[in-house]
Amino acid sequence: MKPTHPTHPTHPTWLALAILVLLCVTLPIAALHAQPTSSAPVAAAAQTDLAKLDQRLIAAQSSADNAWMLVSAALVLMMTGPGLALFYGGLVRQKNTLAIMIQSFALMAFITVLWAVVGYSLCFGEGTPIIGGFGHVLLRGVGVDPNADYAATIPQLTFMVYQLMFAIITPALITGATAERMTFSGTVVFMALWSLCVYAPLAHMVWGKGGLLNATLGGRFPTLDFAGGTVVHISSGVSALVCALYLGKRTGYPKEPMPPHSLVLSFIGACLLWVGWFGFNAGSALASNGLATSAFVATHFAAASATIGWLAAEWTTRGRPSALGAISGAVAGLVAITPASGFVAPVPAMIIGLAAGIGCSAYAFAFTYVMLKVIDRITPVRVGSVAGDPASCQASFDAATAKCATRVGLPCTATSRSW
């Protein structure tokens, strides 16, 4: 019997094995080379999705900011009517209640038309360092597209109507000093001229692009006025003082007593002013963000501490507090915190409010009543001109302190803004 020998693979078998090994090596290499080509559409799709997500986020932020600014505009309008109308209406004699209230209401209409025709353009149009130009006359060029110089996330129409509410309430504040001493027609004509000749240049210099006092947007000097302490309150307060000095005492005063006829109306008006002031100050952030929250909190704390300060001053000097003192103190605190509301923390805001409450009750009373003999029953002089100046100084101090703290690595609460 012959021994058996193992059989060896034939030539075709070796060829098949070689082809199999070659396939096992070349297929992964080919797949690696083909991978960038196949991943390119995936990467492009991912970039497209990210771009769409960014657009949705921007749209959501813009919608939130726009909604908050529209609400803020409505709150500021509420400060004029019914807030200021009721506040002033309760402080005059009963026979003049409707007269002082209709002045606030009429200014809501007249200033709105004036603002659309030329007011907005003079305040926020590009022009000289003192006054804006006529580029936005009849609201030309003002549409739903944002103006990046002022508010990049809201339509320019929203910005325009928000600033309109400031232009309405500023001359309305002066009517407190002319109450019972100026006719309706005289008030309308004077306030219209005052808006064009005083408010518009001052607003452009402080807030407008290229304004003299707006170094952030190309001006020469930096001014910290977050929500209108200079443009609104100091201007209206000083103007009210001039009006009161020029017009003189009311007919019959002091022989005829002229106490407020209804503090209930004034109390309701003061409460509406307090609520509306959140739109005034927090809305000046021009966005629904942390800066708006900071201004909101500072506004409330300042009003509360100013109320306490005025009541404490009355309690010390007269032996008892009064309802008129309480509401006057609240308004003084709101005025005082306005220019600094976006730059200070809650505790400094309380200090500002407390100083305003005590100062407007004591010092301003002596200055206007005793030294100048000004009869200012409705308090725009005492509150506007006196409370606004220290707040502007405090805003500058706190912002400068925060800038220095940032340079050395310390935390700060002051926040810069675009205008």
| pLDDT tens sequence across 363-378 | 655 655 555 555 545 5
Mean pLDDT confidence for 133-152: 94
- pLDDT score, position 397: 37
- pLDDT score, position 393: 39
- In a domain, residue 29? The reply is no
Residue 237 has pLDDT above 80, yes or no: yes
Digit-coded pLDDT (tens) for 18-32: 666 666 656 555 554
Residue 407 has pLDDT above 50, yes or no: no
- pLDDT score, position 250: 75
Position 225 confidence tier, pLDDT thresholds 50, 70, 90: confident
Residue 288 has pLDDT above 70, yes or no: yes
Q: 350 - beta bridge partners?
A: none
Residue 6 has pLDDT above 80, yes or no: no
Digit-coded pLDDT (tens) for 40-59: 677 777 777 777 767 777 77
- The domain tally of the chain equals 1
Digit-coded pLDDT (tens) for 55-85: 777 777 889 999 999 999 999 999 998 999 9
Residue 401 has pLDDT above 50, yes or no: no
- pLDDT score, position 210: 93
- pLDDT score, position 25: 58
Mean pLDDT confidence for 322-328: 90
Residues of the domain holding 372 = 66-407
Percent of the chain at pLDDT exceeding 90: 52
What is the radius of gyration, based on Cα positions, of the chain?
33
Residue 415 has pLDDT above 70, yes or no: no
4: alpha, beta or left? (left if phi > 0; alpha if psi -120 to 50): beta
- In a domain, residue 114? The reply is yes
Residue scoring higher pLDDT (314 or 72): 72
Mean pLDDT confidence for 1-17: 55
Position 330 confidence tier, pLDDT thresholds 50, 70, 90: very high
Position 249 confidence tier, pLDDT thresholds 50, 70, 90: confident
Mean pLDDT confidence for 252-277: 88
Residue 37 has pLDDT above 60, yes or no: no
Residue 167 has pLDDT above 80, yes or no: yes
- pLDDT score, position 418: 36
- pLDDT score, position 402: 32
- pLDDT score, position 352: 93
- pLDDT score, position 349: 95
Residue scoring higher pLDDT (316 or 256): 316
- In a domain, residue 319? The reply is yes
- pLDDT score, position 135: 94
- In a domain, residue 297? The reply is yes
- In a domain, residue 49? The reply is no
Position 179 confidence tier, pLDDT thresholds 50, 70, 90: confident
- In a domain, residue 99? The reply is yes
Task: Say which CATH number the domain at 343 has.
Answer: 1.10.3430.10
Residue 394 has pLDDT above 50, yes or no: no
Residue 261 has pLDDT above 60, yes or no: yes
Residue 200 has pLDDT above 90, yes or no: yes
User: For all residues of the chain together, what is the average pLDDT?
Assistant: 81
SS3 sequence of the chain: CCCCCCCCCCHHHHHHHHHHHHHHHHHHHHHHHHHHHHHHHHHHHHHHHHHHHHHHHHHHHHHHHHHHHHHHHHHHHHHHHHHHHHHHHCCCCHHHHHHHHHHHHHHHHHHHHHHHHHHHHHHHCCCCCCCCCCCCHHHCCCCCCCECCCECCCCHHHHHHHHHHHHHHHHHHHCCCCCCCCCHHHHHHHHHHHHHHHHHHHHHHHHCCCCCCCHHHCCCCCCCCCCCHHHHHHHHHHHHHHHHHHHCCCCCCCCCCCCCCCHHHHHHHHHHHHHHHHHHHHHHHCCCCHHHHHHHHHHHHHHHHHHHHHHHHHHHHHCCCCHHHHHHHHHHHHHHHCCCCCCCCHHHHHHHHHHHHHHHHHHHHHHHHHHCCCCCCCCHHHHHHHHHHHHHHHHHHHHHHHHHHHHCCCCCCCCCCCC
Residue 142 has pLDDT above 90, yes or no: yes
- In a domain, residue 369? The reply is yes
- In a domain, residue 412? The reply is no
Find the range with the poorest average confidence among 220-229, 266-275, 325-334.
220-229
- pLDDT score, position 42: 72
Residue 116 has pLDDT above 90, yes or no: yes
